[in-house]
Chains A and B, each alone.
Chain A
Amino acid sequence: MISKLFKFHGGVHPPEHKLESTRRPIRNLPIPEMLVLPLRQHVGNLPKIRVQAGDHVLKGQLLAEAEGSVSAAVHAPTSGTVVSIEEQLIPHPSGLPDISIAMRPDGEDRWIALEKTDWRHRDRAEMVASLRESGIVGMGGAAFPTQIKLRPSGKSSVRTLIINGAECEPYITCDDLLMRERAEEIVKGIEIAHYLLGPENCLIGIEDNKPEAARVMREACARSSVKIDVAIVPTLYPSGDARRLIGLLTGIEVPSDKRSTDVGLQVFNVATMAAVYRYFEHGEPVVSRLVTVTGNVKDPGNFDVLLGTPMSALLQAADGVLPDTDALIMGGPMMGFRLPSREVPVIKATNCIIASSPRLFPPQPPALPCIRCARCAEACPVDLQPQELYWFAKSKNLEKARDYQLFDCIECGCCSYVCPSRIPLVEFYRYAKSEILAQDKAKEAASLARERNDFRLARIEREKQERAAKHAQKAAGAKTEAGIDDAKKAAIAAALERAKAQKAEVVPQNTDDLSSTVLAEIADTDARRAAAANTQEN
Chain B
Amino acid sequence: MLSALLVMIGLALVLGAVLGYSSIRFKVDGDPLVDKIDAILPQTQCGQCGYPGCKPYATAIANGEADINQCPPGGEAGMRALADLLGVEPKPLNAEHGVPKPKSVAVIAESLCIGCTLCIQACPVDAILGAAKHMHTVIASECTGCELCVAPCPVDCITMEPIPEKVANWKWRYPVIELKQVT
Chain A residues lying within 8 Å of B127, measured Cβ to Cβ, are 452
A255: Cβ under 8 A from any B Cβ: no
- Looking at the assembled complex, report how far the CB atom of A435 sits from the nearest CB atom of chain B, in whole angstroms: 6
Of residues 132 to 172 in B, which have CB atoms within 8 Å of A's CB atoms?
142, 144, 165-167, 169-172
Given contacts A438-B171, A449-B144, is CB(A96)–CB(B165) below 8 Å? yes
B174: Cβ under 8 A from any A Cβ: yes
Interface residues of B, count at CB 8 A: 32
B82: Cβ under 8 A from any A Cβ: no
Q: Spot the interface stretch: B9-17, B42-50, B106-114.
A: B42-50
Kindly identify which residue among A369, A427, A439 contacts B179, using a CB–CB cutoff of 8 Å. A369
- A92 and B167 contacting across the interface, CB-CB below 8 Å: yes
Bound: A433/B171 CA distance, A: 9
Chain B residues lying within 8 Å of A368, measured Cβ to Cβ, are 179-180
B115: Cβ under 8 A from any A Cβ: no
- A453 and B171 contacting across the interface, CB-CB below 8 Å: no
Chain A residues lying within 8 Å of B177, measured Cβ to Cβ, are 366-367, 423-424, 427
- B142 and A448 contacting across the interface, CB-CB below 8 Å: yes
Chain A residues lying within 8 Å of B53, measured Cβ to Cβ, are 453
- A453 and B43 contacting across the interface, CB-CB below 8 Å: yes
Given contacts A424-B175, A448-B142, A452-B142, is CB(A439)–CB(B180) below 8 Å? no
B118: Cβ under 8 A from any A Cβ: no
B124: Cβ under 8 A from any A Cβ: yes
Kindly identify which residue among A40, A96, A366, A399 contacts B178, using a CB–CB cutoff of 8 Å. A366
Chain B residues lying within 8 Å of A90, measured Cβ to Cβ, are 167
Kindly identify which residue among A365, A428, A439, A445 contacts B175, using a CB–CB cutoff of 8 Å. A428
Chain A residues lying within 8 Å of B142, measured Cβ to Cβ, are 448-449, 452
- B126 and A452 contacting across the interface, CB-CB below 8 Å: yes
Chain B residues lying within 8 Å of A446, measured Cβ to Cβ, are 41-43
Chain A residues lying within 8 Å of B44, measured Cβ to Cβ, are 449
Chain A residues lying within 8 Å of B165, measured Cβ to Cβ, are 94, 96
Contact with B along A413-451 (1 / 0, CB 8 A): 000000000011001101101110011001001111110
- Looking at the assembled complex, report how far the CB atom of B121 sits from the nearest CB atom of chain A, in whole angstroms: 10
- A456 and B179 contacting across the interface, CB-CB below 8 Å: no
Chain B residues lying within 8 Å of A445, measured Cβ to Cβ, are 43, 144
Bound: A154/B178 CA distance, A: 55
A93: Cβ under 8 A from any B Cβ: yes
- Looking at the assembled complex, report how far the CB atom of B111 sits from the nearest CB atom of chain A, in whole angstroms: 26
Contact with B along A372-415 (1 / 0, CB 8 A): 00000000000000000000000010110000000000000000
B77: Cβ under 8 A from any A Cβ: yes
Given contacts A447-B43, A449-B125, A449-B144, is CB(A431)–CB(B173) below 8 Å? yes
Chain A residues lying within 8 Å of B126, measured Cβ to Cβ, are 452, 455-456
- Looking at the assembled complex, report how far the CB atom of A15 sits from the nearest CB atom of chain B, in whole angstroms: 24
A98: Cβ under 8 A from any B Cβ: yes
Residue of B nearest to A431 (CB): B172
B54: Cβ under 8 A from any A Cβ: yes
- A453 and B124 contacting across the interface, CB-CB below 8 Å: yes
Chain B residues lying within 8 Å of A428, measured Cβ to Cβ, are 175
Chain B residues lying within 8 Å of A396, measured Cβ to Cβ, are 77, 174
Interface residues of A, count at CB 8 A: 38
- Looking at the assembled complex, report how far the CB atom of B146 sits from the nearest CB atom of chain A, in whole angstroms: 9
Residue of A nearest to B84 (CB): A399
Bound: A430/B175 CA distance, A: 9
Bound: A437/B125 CA distance, A: 24
Bound: A93/B127 CA distance, A: 34
Kindly identify which residue among B38, B125, B167 contacts A94, using a CB–CB cutoff of 8 Å. B167
- B167 and A450 contacting across the interface, CB-CB below 8 Å: no
Chain A residues lying within 8 Å of B125, measured Cβ to Cβ, are 449, 452-453, 456
Given contacts A93-B172, A427-B172, A455-B126, is CB(A439)–CB(B77) below 8 Å? yes
Contact with B along A84-109 (1 / 0, CB 8 A): 00000010111011100000000000
Bound: A92/B166 CA distance, A: 11
Residue from A399, A442, A446, A455 with most neighbouring chain B CB atoms (10 Å): A446
- A456 and B42 contacting across the interface, CB-CB below 8 Å: no
Residue of A nearest to B181 (CB): A366
Chain B residues lying within 8 Å of A369, measured Cβ to Cβ, are 179
Bound: A59/B172 CA distance, A: 37
Chain B residues lying within 8 Å of A399, measured Cβ to Cβ, are 81, 84
Of residues 33 to 73 in B, which have CB atoms within 8 Å of A's CB atoms?
38, 41-45, 53-54
Kindly identify which residue among A94, A435, A450 contacts B54, using a CB–CB cutoff of 8 Å. A450
Bound: A398/B172 CA distance, A: 14
Kindly identify which residue among A97, A430, A448 contacts B172, using a CB–CB cutoff of 8 Å. A430
Residue of B nearest to A398 (CB): B77
- Looking at the assembled complex, report how far the CB atom of A101 sits from the nearest CB atom of chain B, in whole angstroms: 15
Kindly identify which residue among B77, B167, B173, B180 contacts A96, using a CB–CB cutoff of 8 Å. B167
- Looking at the assembled complex, report how far the CB atom of B70 sits from the nearest CB atom of chain A, in whole angstroms: 17
- A449 and B167 contacting across the interface, CB-CB below 8 Å: no
Chain B residues lying within 8 Å of A427, measured Cβ to Cβ, are 172, 175, 177
Of residues 81 to 128 in B, which have CB atoms within 8 Å of A's CB atoms?
81, 84, 124-127
Chain A residues lying within 8 Å of B81, measured Cβ to Cβ, are 399
Chain B residues lying within 8 Å of A455, measured Cβ to Cβ, are 126
- A366 and B172 contacting across the interface, CB-CB below 8 Å: no
Chain A residues lying within 8 Å of B169, measured Cβ to Cβ, are 438
Bound: A427/B172 CA distance, A: 8
- A366 and B180 contacting across the interface, CB-CB below 8 Å: yes
- A365 and B180 contacting across the interface, CB-CB below 8 Å: yes
- Looking at the assembled complex, report how far the CB atom of A392 sits from the nearest CB atom of chain B, in whole angstroms: 13
- A456 and B172 contacting across the interface, CB-CB below 8 Å: no
Bound: A430/B43 CA distance, A: 27
Of residues 310 to 351 in A, which have CB atoms within 8 Å of B's CB atoms?
none
- Looking at the assembled complex, report how far the CB atom of B173 sits from the nearest CB atom of chain A, in whole angstroms: 6
- A434 and B172 contacting across the interface, CB-CB below 8 Å: yes
Of residues 146 to 200 in A, which have CB atoms within 8 Å of B's CB atoms?
none
Residue of B nearest to A397 (CB): B80
Residues on A facing B (Cβ under 8 Å): 40, 90, 92-94, 96-98, 365-369, 396, 398-399, 423-424, 427-428, 430-431, 433-435, 438-439, 442, 445-450, 452-453, 455-456
Given pairs A97-B167, A442-B42, 9 additional interface contacts (CB within 8 A): A94-B165, A367-B177, A367-B178, A396-B174, A398-B77, A434-B171, A438-B169, A445-B144, A446-B41
Q: 11 A-B residue contacts at CB 8 Å?
A: A92-B167, A96-B166, A367-B177, A367-B180, A399-B81, A427-B177, A431-B173, A434-B170, A449-B43, A450-B38, A455-B126
